[in-house]
């Protein structure tokens, strides 16, 4: 019995379906618009070259180029294609150094030049491009392929773009540059904004800026990216800026590091900040820290009953915590002990307390002549009647006067607990000049003096000058008076390190 015709037809139908599908695939491959799937399946270099040149879809052409290995075809596409992305894809696959050299210098498309530079090996040409190309990204790419450390150092110091300078600096540090003097010179010369610090991860560079940069804004940005708590703890002990010290405490990574600061930091502000972070971040009740704080408070209270003047003097000069020194100074008495404290102390809070206790003109004149602290000399001279504030500020602003003299004059005013009316104009002008000069030697004094000698305009100057401690002071001044801080046309008579 023969099989049903229908069954035979079904069998033939299946075969014909396969044949039709195969035919359609061939038609798509050779006659229809190629797709990304077409390129993905293709292995024939001739077919890929045809797609790379003839396909209308730029993405398809680019995909085809990425699968090409034929250097002749790639060279043609790199030079002739009308689409920049396709050309870049071709350049990235070129091996012809002569063609790459030509394109890296002459091509008008910066993306083509960049792609060519990334494939170059000629050190001489890379050196030329690293110095001369108008695009900083291309100069950076060329510099990163250089091996000449002397040239890289010159780029680090002289390139007009901070991204190139920082990249050159990182390359030298990572290459373990042995010339430390040259490294220090480069670090000192590179002009930075605080936002630029976020581009750096190298810990050697960050440590240098955290220690050496004259701007608190730069030091503050650097410490937030440092990973070594032991470095941060050491830095906290000698950092003059309260804003930077606060940034250090916030940056500490380990619970034990915060515990150490909470119990040993000189300034009350950092001790209390570290305790708060222990509780908030680590959910640590910090019973031992709170016990240490109470113990310190008892030591402070005990100074009220201390009768040994030499011991009080010693604590006022060398106490390990700020509250100990200040409290010892408050309880210190006797002309000889007070004079010794005035002559030898460098702590402005102690000097402020001592100055208020001094009344003898001869003693004040002696302090004005020989005190270790220059600001204390000027303050004593004013209190004794030897020099007026006008004379002090005139001398500090006369031709040939140094920025230190100006800072000392301003600091002298800050040592008086009462506002000195005759010094108000001098204080404001000195503060603005120190901002323009970018001198941070008297930032604590400038912060303190805003309260008694400032006004809304000076507070806005502080806010807008670009120095973090002064910014904090301006915000505090506004907050205490019920003002809100927002953007607008606030006073900005002086900008940090503007020179004017």
Question: Is residue 1 scored above 60 in pLDDT?
Answer: no
How much is the pLDDT for 22? 46
Residue 461 three-state SS: helix
Question: Is residue 399 scored above 70 in pLDDT?
Answer: yes
Share of the chain above pLDDT 90, in %: 75
Place of tokens 């208020």: 356
Confidence class of residue 8 from pLDDT cuts 50, 70 and 90? very low
Residue 282 three-state SS: coil
How much is the pLDDT for 500? 56
Share of the chain above pLDDT 70, in %: 93
How much is the pLDDT for 12? 39
User: If you average pLDDT over residues 30-43, what whole number do you get?
Assistant: 79
pLDDT tens-digit series, residues 174-197: 877 656 677 777 777 777 788 888
Least confident of 133-137, 159-163, 350-354, 484-488: 484-488
How much is the pLDDT for 177? 64
Please choose, from the candidates 313, 355, 307, 304, the residue with its C-alpha nearest in 3D space to the C-alpha of residue 336: 313
How much is the pLDDT for 26? 45
| Residue 441 DSSP code | T
pLDDT tens-digit series, residues 408-441: 999 999 999 999 999 999 999 999 999 999 999 9
How much is the pLDDT for 170? 86
How much is the pLDDT for 14? 38
Least confident of 13-27, 138-152, 447-461, 470-484: 13-27
User: If you average pLDDT over residues 144-167, what whole number do you get?
Assistant: 90
Please state, in angstroms and rounded to a whole number, the distance separating the CA atoms of residues 19 and 461: 83
173 contacts 152 by C-beta, under 8 angstroms: no
| Domain ranges within the chain, ordered by starting residue | 1-27, 33-95, 106-191, 199-305, 311-380, 388-500
Q: Which residues contact 134 (CB under 8 A, 6 or more apart)?
A: none
Question: Is residue 24 scored above 60 in pLDDT?
Answer: no
Highest mean pLDDT among 61-65, 122-126, 154-158, 496-500: 122-126
For the record, the structure tokens of 332 come out as 């210190």
pTM of the model: 0.74
User: In degrees, to the nearest 5, what angle opens at C-alpha 256 toward C-alphas 250 and 262?
Assistant: 60
Question: Is residue 231 scored above 60 in pLDDT?
Answer: yes
Please state, in angstroms and rounded to a whole number, the distance separating the CA atoms of residues 431 and 500: 13
Confidence class of residue 296 from pLDDT cuts 50, 70 and 90? very high
Place of tokens 């299946």: 14
162 class by beta-carbon count within 10 Å (0-12 exposed, 13-18 middle, 19+ buried)? middle
How much is the pLDDT for 13? 39
User: If you average pLDDT over residues 330-338, what whole number do you get?
Assistant: 96
Secondary structure (DSSP) of 149-211:
HHHHHHHHHH-SSHHHHHHHHHHHHHTT---HHHHHHHHHH----GGGGGG---HHHHHHHHH
Question: Is residue 108 scored above 80 in pLDDT?
Answer: yes
Question: Is residue 366 scored above 50 in pLDDT?
Answer: yes
Q: What is the mean pLDDT of the chain?
A: 90
């Amino acid at each position: 019995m023969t099989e049903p015709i229908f069954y035979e037809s079904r069998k033939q139908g299946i075969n014909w379906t396969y044949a039709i599908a195969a035919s359609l695939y061939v038609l798509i491959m050779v006659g229809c618009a190629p797709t990304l799937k077409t390129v993905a399946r293709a292995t024939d270099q001739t077919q890929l070259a045809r797609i790379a040149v003839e396909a209308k879809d730029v993405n398809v052409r680019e995909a085809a180029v990425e699968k090409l290995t034929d250097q002749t075809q790639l060279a043609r596409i790199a030079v002739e294609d009308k689409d920049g992305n396709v050309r870049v894809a071709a350049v990235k696959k070129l091996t012809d150094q002569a063609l790459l050299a030509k394109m890296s210098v002459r091509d008008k498309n910066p993306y083509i030049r960049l792609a060519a530079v990334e494939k170059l090996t000629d050190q001489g040409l890379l050196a030329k491009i690293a110095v001369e190309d108008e695009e900083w990204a291309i100069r950076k790419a060329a510099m990163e392929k250089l091996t000449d450390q002397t040239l890289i150092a010159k780029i680090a110091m002289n390139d007009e773009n901070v991204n190139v300078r920082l990249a050159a600096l990182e390359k030298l540090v990572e290459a373990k540059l042995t010339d430390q003097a040259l490294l220090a010179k480069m670090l000192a010369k590179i002009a930075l904004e605080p936002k630029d610090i976020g581009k750096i991860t190298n810990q050697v560079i960050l440590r240098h800026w955290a220690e050496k940069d004259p701007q608190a804004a730069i030091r503050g940005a650097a410490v937030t990216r440092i990973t070594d708590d032991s470095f941060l703890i050491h830095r906290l002990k000698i950092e003059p800026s309260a804003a930077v010290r606060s940034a250090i405490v916030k940056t500490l990574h380990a619970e034990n590091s915060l515990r150490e600061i909470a119990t040993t930091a000189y300034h009350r502000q950092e001790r209390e900040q570290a305790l708060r972070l222990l509780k908030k971040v680590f959910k640590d009740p910090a019973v031992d820290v709170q016990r240490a704080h109470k113990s310190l408070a008892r030591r402070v209270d005990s100074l009220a009953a201390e009768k040994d003047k030499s011991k009080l003097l010693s604590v006022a000069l060398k106490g390990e915590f700020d509250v100990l020194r200040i409290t010892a100074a408050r309880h210190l008495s006797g002309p000889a002990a007070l004079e010794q404290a005035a002559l030898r102390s460098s702590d402005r809070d102690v000097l402020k307390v001592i100055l208020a206790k001094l009344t003898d003109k001869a003693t004040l004149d002696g302090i004005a002549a020989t005190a270790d602290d220059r600001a204390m000399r000027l303050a004593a001279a004013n209190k004794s009647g030897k020099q007026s504030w006008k004379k002090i500020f005139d001398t500090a602003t006369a031709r040939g006067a140094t920025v230190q003299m100006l800072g000392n004059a301003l600091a002298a005013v800050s040592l008086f607990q009462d506002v000195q009316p005759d010094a108000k104009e001098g204080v404001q002008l000195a503060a603005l000049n120190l901002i323009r000069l970018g001198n941070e030697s008297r930032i604590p004094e400038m912060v303190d003096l805003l309260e008694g000698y400032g006004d809304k305009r000076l507070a806005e100057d502080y806010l807008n000058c670009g120095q973090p401690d002064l910014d904090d002071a301006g915000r505090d001044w506004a907050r205490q008076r019920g003002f809100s801080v927002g953007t607008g046309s606030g006073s900005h008579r002086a900008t940090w390190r503007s020179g004017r």
